[in-house]
Structure 1
Amino acid sequence: MRLHLITVGEPRLAYARAGWDEYATRLRRYHKLQVSRVSGKTQALESEAIRKAAGKAPLILLDPRGRQFTSEGLSAYLDARALGGTGELALAVGGPEGHTDELRAGADALWSLGELTLPHDLAMVVLAEALYRAATISAGEPYHRG
């Protein structure tokens, strides 16, 4: 499956850049990976840029109102999307103000990483690691030991 990861900006902190690079590299062993970095001076412009970057791909927004997954549940969800004919998924991390109501309403799904508020840089690393972990579960590999 093709995963299109869309972020507002890129990781600024060294640990986040290193973590993002590490997990994005690992994830490429399992999925075709595209990364888009968008920007905007306002929440509305950021959300517009995310929608445009996603194109026709089903859009999953990281949002605190979304569904929470276990690692196994995320793996099963992604497998079901792939088996259902979805060749591409776009997953987006919003900016500091989050996503607009309009973008949320048009998204295919909302995914919450949990009830904690995470800094933007850390949310990007957690997204990449969670997707990698889900891929290894689907492949039956030992990275995930639950």
Structure 2
Amino acid sequence: MRLHLITVGEPKLKYAQAGWDEYEKRLRRYHKLTVSRVGGKTQAAESEAVLRAAGKAPLVLLDPRGEQWTSEGLSAWLDAQALGGTGELAFAIGGPEGHTEELRAQAARLWSLGALTLPHDLAMVVLTEALYRASTISAGEPYHRG
């Protein structure tokens, strides 16, 4: 399956860039991966840029209002999307103000990484690690030990 990771901006902190780079590299063993870094001067402009970047792919927004998954649940959901013929999924992390209501309304799914508020850079690392972990579960590999 193709995964499109969309972020508002780049990781700024060294640890986050290193984590992003590591898990992005690992994810490429399982999926065709596209990364888009978008920007905008306002929350609305950022949301418009995210929507443009996603194109026709179903959009999954990382958002505190979203559903929380276990690693096994995310793996099963990704597998179901692939079996259902979804060729590409777009995952988007918004800017400091989050996503607009208009963008949320157009999303295929809202996904919450948990009840904690995470810094933007850390959320980027958690997203890529979670997708990698789910991919190893689907492949029956030993990375995940629950």
RMSD (CA atoms): 0.2
In structure 1, the partner of 2:117 is: 117
SS at match of 1:19: helix
In structure 2, the partner of 1:81 is: 81
SS at match of 1:62: strand
In structure 2, the partner of 1:142 is: 142
In structure 1, the partner of 2:35 is: 35
Normalised to the residue count of structure 2, the TM-score between the two structures is 1.00
Superposed, which structure 2 residues align to 1:55-134 within 5 Å?
Answer: 55-134=55-134
Structure 1 segments, 4+ long, off by >3 Å, are none
In structure 2, the partner of 1:51 is: 51
Between the aligned partners of 1:144 and 1:107, the Cα distance in structure 2 is: 29
| Residue type at the aligned position of 1:44 | A
Q: Deviations over 1:24-54 (max 9, x none)?
A: 0000000000000000000000000000000
Normalised to the residue count of structure 1, the TM-score between the two structures is 1.00
Between the aligned partners of 2:67 and 2:84, the Cα distance in structure 1 is: 20
SS at match of 2:61: strand
Deviation at 1:130, TM superposition (A): 0.1
Segments of structure 1 that go 5 or more residues without pairing to the other structure are: none
SS at match of 1:143: coil
In structure 2, the partner of 1:26 is: 26
Between the aligned partners of 1:119 and 1:90, the Cα distance in structure 2 is: 21
SS at match of 1:3: strand
Q: Deviations over 1:51-72 (max 9, x none)?
A: 0000000000000000000000
Between the aligned partners of 1:17 and 1:106, the Cα distance in structure 2 is: 29
Between the aligned partners of 1:31 and 1:59, the Cα distance in structure 2 is: 17
| Residue type at the aligned position of 1:83 | L
Segments of structure 2 that go 5 or more residues without pairing to the other structure are: none
Q: How many residues align?
A: 146
